[in-house]
Structure 1
Amino acid sequence: MASKTLFEATPPFPDDLQPVAEIATISLAKLVADDASEAQTMLDACRHLGFFLLDLSRDTVGEEMIKEVDQVFEMVRETMDLSTEEKVKYSSDPPRDFRGYKAEGIMKTETGAPDRCEFYSLLQDDILGNSTVSPALPTPEPINSRSELLRSYFEHGHYALKYICRALSTQLHLPPETFWDLQAPTRSSGTMLRLIRYAPSLSPSDMRTGLLSHTDFGSITLLANVTGGLQVLNPQFQPEDEAGWQWVRPRPGCLIVNMGDAMVQWTGGILRSNMHRVKYAPGEQRLVPRYSAAILTRPYKEAAMQRLAGGRIPTVEDDEREGLVIQDEGISSLTAWEWELKKAMALKEGKDCARSRGGRELRAMDVA
């Protein structure tokens, strides 16, 4: 997350706002030190809410990433301040190609109203030189002039991601590198950095959902933002019930981390991919642009989407013995790239009704 200085330059998150989600704060330094208690707390958060705050402080690499977030936000601002005529030169073409610019209003919210966000997506393969299919695309000057920052930001994100993956693998009694190997940055994938801007909410008509409720269909998301607006769904509520939507309060020096659908699939529903959305920013924050940067991590393209074996991961036979029916929607026979394209097409055609996934209880024999 951004530095305290950047937070102090932004209108404050309202102290009296309700309901605010109770999100566990996990120390990256403790994960690096292989703190079993911290790893267990993180697993609990990933099973119940699917979200946690990752405190980057007191870790050398984490402290560097905090400084870089401020620089990335400046890049987002400069990019989005370009003229519309300039930005549309770099328009994306999903689902064929997710790279590039998406203008505000192209997608819809739950009421059918246009969305209120614009973003620019940068493929990890292009930044790191992993692409074997298509060449890197041209980028606007605010991005093109910061190639070293982008490479470093990805590398520092990988550092945090690796220790998250190791802790989850260990807590689920899997080999330590299990989850990391499925999304290692040395292999070609759909992993991207998304630079996002939401316009200020200056009128009552702007005080609505800016980005439709959804789950992330990758593996793990690392989000940096300063201004509020992100809401997560209380697992006890249905998305149609407004009382179930809870505000997420950003904190200096912390990333907001959430599990994606791939982690649910691999763990047979143990980890939770929770619905979330972006509303207007609360309080005086609604009067300023909302910037964020999300590393959307996805498996390497040839990774198998079948359920992992061993450890605490239940087998299909376990499900049958316990009278459970865990539908994999035909995912298990697909590669990660096939699965992502299938889900992207379904979302574009309105056939995939977003819902929270996972969060199943561990079997009694697996609880220490």
Structure 2
Amino acid sequence: MHKTIIPIIDFQQIDNPEHQVTIARQIYHACTEHGFFYVSGHDVDDELQGELMEKSKLFFALVESEKLKIAMAKGGSAWRGFFPVNAELTSGKPDKKEGLYFGTELPDDHPKVNAGIPLHGRNLFPDYPPGFDQTVLAYVDAVTETAQLVMKGIALSLGLPANYFYSKYTSDPLILFRIFHYPTQAPKPAQWGVGEHTDYGLLTVLLQDSVGGLQVKSKGEWIDAPPIPGTFICNIGDMLDKMTGGLYRSTPHRVLNTSGQSRLSFPLFFDPGFDSKIEAITNIPDNIREQDTSQRWDKTNIHAFEGTYGEYLLQKIGKVFPGLRKEVL
């Protein structure tokens, strides 16, 4: 098994009161020390994960003209579909990856779609491989349930009721699911697979293949976050950082794939509802909210933001795909 200082937390007994205190303490330690932790004891089927990986390999092996049949430009404001290598930017620099954007599948007559709310609508699925759509949607549903359990543990770790985040933010979460393919790179590239960044929302639940390449900036030092069989790796997003006044800090991370093999990763971004007003958690002392923005990757102070999660997210994504900005903003 790969070694890492990022802790592994077993969530199998998260609903058992006899185990909740121990799990909550482990989460608190992980979130204050690293902003990352591995989740074991989840219920996401191994066979479903394997099926997702195999079908993703088949899709990315297609010639680019086939993949572009579901280009993101065709997804409109739902922000779904395929993008090629160098099309996504981090801090203004192209990433060495290609990928697929998915989300909660909503019909055209859904009220949020009718209202024209960005990031809501139908997915764009390829014709090949067959059944990719069913596999993706089944996986999204399964991992969303896991994310709800993890957020229950995070609530307990903060001394809050277990349903705190569900009742305020995630009864109807914004689910953004990505499948990324990273070609192999030279050891000292001028370009990262994905550059240093933090995630925008509450929680990211990441499945990695066996290749590795994820690096986490823990206490100012870059450390590896290798794949560990049977686990997901989770990290805090900007909104949880803001809610906790920086007690749980959203941690920068990046990807460099020098393995000599292609790498696949499957992040599910479990975020507050689009219209959720982001508020500070009142039982956390308001004495750590000041932040040295010069040290943050994007030079911004997330604690200065006031508004809904949708407003925050739309500010960010236009910088990731500037060519598609008018389709969403």
The normalised TM-score by structure 1 is: 0.73
Deviation at 1:329, TM superposition (A): 5.2
Q: Which residue of 2 aligns with 1:246?
A: 223
Matching residue of 1:232: 216
Does residue 343 in structure 1 map to residue 299 in structure 2? Answer: no
| Deviations 1:29-87 (CA, angstroms, capped at 9, x unpaired) | 1324342112211121012210001113xx5x24x2x3221111112112211221121
Match of 2:71 in 1: 91
Are 1:264 and 1:273, in contact at CA under 8 Å, matched by a contact in 2? yes
C-alpha distance in 1 between matches for 2:121 and 2:317: 22
Query: Does the 8 Å CA contact 2:126/2:132 hold for their aligned counterparts?
Result: no
Q: Distance in 2 between matches of 1:306 and 1:95?
A: 30
Report whether the alignment pairs 1:152 with 2:133.
no
How far apart are the structure 1 equivalents of 2:239 and 2:110? 22
The code of the aligned residue for 2:139 comes to Y
User: Which ranges in structure 2 are unaligned for 5 or more consecutive residues?
Assistant: 114-119, 292-300, 323-329
Match of 1:105 in 2: 86
Tell me the distance in 2 between the aligned counterparts of 1:205 and 1:255: 28
Whether 1:80 and 2:64 are equivalent positions in the alignment is no
Shift of 1:200: 2.6
Counterparts in 2 of 1:80 and 1:28: CA distance versus 1, 3 Å: same
Alignment of 1:1-368 (within 5 A): 21-34=4-17, 35=19, 36-56=21-41, 61-62=43-44, 64=45, 66-93=46-73, 96-108=77-89, 112=93, 114-126=94-106, 132-133=112-113, 135-142=121-128, 145-184=131-170, 187=172, 189=174, 191-201=175-185, 209-225=192-208, 226-235=210-219, 237=220, 244-281=221-258, 286-309=259-282, 311=283, 313-314=284-285, 318-319=286-287, 325=290, 328=302, 330-332=304-306, 334-345=307-318
Separation in 2, partners of 1:50, 1:88: 36
CA distance in 2 between partners of 1:192 and 1:144 (Å) = 22
> Alignment partner of 1:264: what SS?
helix
> TM-score, normalising length from structure 2?
0.81
Superposition RMSD in Å: 2.9
Q: Which has the larger radius of gyration?
A: 1
Separation of aligned partners in 2, 1:188 and 1:38: 24
Structure with the larger strand share: 2
Q: Note the C-alpha offset of 1:251.
A: 0.7
User: Within 2, Cα distance between the matches of 1:121 and 1:233?
Assistant: 25
Contact 1:305 1:336 in 2 (8 A): yes
Q: Matched residues in 1 for 2:237 and 2:158: separation?
A: 17
TM-aligned CA distance change 1:293 to 1:328, over 3 Å: closer
Retained in 2: the 8 A contact 1:109–1:209? no
The 3-state SS of whatever aligns with 1:232 is strand
Alignment coverage as a number of residue pairs:
302
Alpha-carbon deviation of 1:194? 0.5
